[in-house]
Structure formats: C-alpha cells, structure tokens
Amino acid sequence: MFDAFIVNPIAGTGFALETMEKIESRMTEKGLPFRTFRTEQPLQAAEIARELSRNPEVRAVISVGGDGTASEVAIGLAGTGKPMAVIPAGTGNDFIKTIGIPKDPLAALETALNGEAKPTDMGWLNDSSFLNVCGTGFDVTVLDYAESLKKRYRGLLPYFLGLLKAIFHYKPVHLKLTVDGETEEGDYLICSIANGRFIGGGIPICPAADPQDGLLDLVLVRNVPRRKIPLYLPGLMMGKILNFKITRHRRVKEVTMEGKNLRVNTDGEIFSMSGACFAVRPGVLQLIR
C-alpha cells in the first residue's frame, strides 16, 4: 500500500512545489511508501485521482495545493470510497478552515497519515461538483481584483485588497432563484451556496455551514447603495454576516439560479454560464480529518 500525492506545481506561486519537497523528505524519513503526481493542466487532478481510485494499492489520495486542487481531487474521488486528504499549499486554503485541518503543511501531513476518513458532503453545479463554496455577486468582483495580487501575496491579503477595490466598482446582480421549489427574484449583493464556511483566504461567508449535515447553505444579502457597503465589512470579516438585517440564510437541497451574463465563483475559479443548478451530494466523499 502507498499514499498518492497529487501536487499542482503552480499553486501558491510555487509554494506547493516547495511543500512537496518537504513532504517527500518527511515520508522518506518515516520509511513510508508514496508516489507523487504533478498536474500539467486544469482538471488533470480529477483525472489522476479517478484513475488512482481504481488502484487497490493506494491507501489514500492526498491533494497538495490550494482549494482548486482539492476540489479537483474531490471530484475525481467522489463516490469511489477511496479516502482523500488535503495538505494546504495554495493561496487561500479555505476549505481546511472548515474541517479543522492544520494550516502548516507538515502538520497537515500528520493528519493525512493518522486521521480518520469521514463521509463528507459535496455539491453539484450543473454537470460537475464543488467542494467548498459557489456564488455570484460581490465575491466574484473581489476575486477579479485579487487574481493579479495572488502572484505577490498569499493568504488573506490579496483578497482583502481585492475587497477594497471591489467596493468602488461593484454592480448588483439581478437573479431569479428557485429554492427547494420556491421562486423569488431580486437584486443581490451576495448569493452564496455553501458547503464550507470560508472564501477569499478566510472570509467567513457562511459560518454555519457544515459539510457533514447533508444540506447546502444558501446565503442571500440584498443589495444596498455602494456607499453603505463599507459599513458591513467589519461584521463580514468577524463572521457576523448571518446577523445582518439584509441577510437571509437557509439550509437547502436544491437551488436554481438564473441571471443575465451570469458569472459564478466555483471554489475560487470564475465561470460564465447561462444558468446554474445546485444540489447537495450527501456523504459522497471520504475525507481524512
């Protein structure tokens, strides 16, 4: 039996490769068998993970990178029963904050080697899956501005700077939503469908989310004048978004989102689509925690 590490070499602006070197040294010191697989293009991590899931000699498949890499590996392993672990080596590393994996990569390696695999939810988005959080609105604008800053900074800083820039350029999104059969329409500042709790390097977009409860969390923040957005930022950063009078939160099984020129944040990556259909996938992933 051996552990299979899937590393995204560009994650964290090279930090993932540095991390993988330390992991390989530690695994060699321990005398533990392992193999390393490097991705060379988007979505390849899912393909590699899917292939590894069929190998009975693989004890666990371990993601080394950011949230995007973890999401891809999870997509490849969903429904296979093969355990997955996550070692944070990207920019935001948001999903680990929800499930309690250490942010130090070598400490996370110990969790990967000695932790327990537990059934963990994922979400459907149209014809694929997501692991952490999807949404549209203000967070997409933040990610737009944070993208160029990721090359210079890791952690929360690029997202925080992107957040400040977004205040001056954000435009509300008009959405038609069908939530577990009930339809509504309006202008929104934020519309997030969450399996995890954090986005943008540690912004608690849905502090109540639990990826083991068999449900997704819908967070709707109605639109406010741009000048009022800064008034809500301290509360947002302190995890109080669900207490805002302009926020509605509910746990759901299915959400359909329709809007003009829709752009959706999917585990930190932005995609354009004509419509989005979300559904929960209860306990589909065996995640080592």
In contact, 216 and 206? CB cutoff 8 Å: no
Tokens coding 125: 């988005």
Tokens coding 8: 């995204």
Question: Please, which residues bridge with residue 251 across strands?
Answer: 217
In contact, 73 and 80? CB cutoff 8 Å: no
Angle separating helix axes 157-167 and 229-237, nearest 10 degrees = 160
CA 285 to CA 266: how far, in whole Å?
18
Q: Write a three-state SS string for 220-281.
A: EEECCCHHHHHHHHHHHHCCCHHHCCCEEEEEECEEEEEEEEEEEEECCEEEEEEEEEEEEE
Question: Please, which residues bridge with residue 122 across strands?
Answer: 281
CA 70 to CA 22: how far, in whole Å?
19
Going by the DSSP 8-state scheme, the letter that residue 226 receives in this structure is G
E strand spans, 105-229: 117-125, 128-130, 133-137, 173-179, 182-194, 198-199, 203-204, 216-222
Sequence-separated contacts (24+) of 168-172 with Cβ below 8 Å: 168/226, 169/141, 169/145, 170/138, 170/141, 170/226, 170/229, 172/137, 172/223
CA 190 to CA 246: how far, in whole Å?
10
Say whether 18 is catalytic.
Answer: no
Tell me which of 47, 147, 254, 269 is the catalytic residue.
269
Residues recognised as catalytic: 269
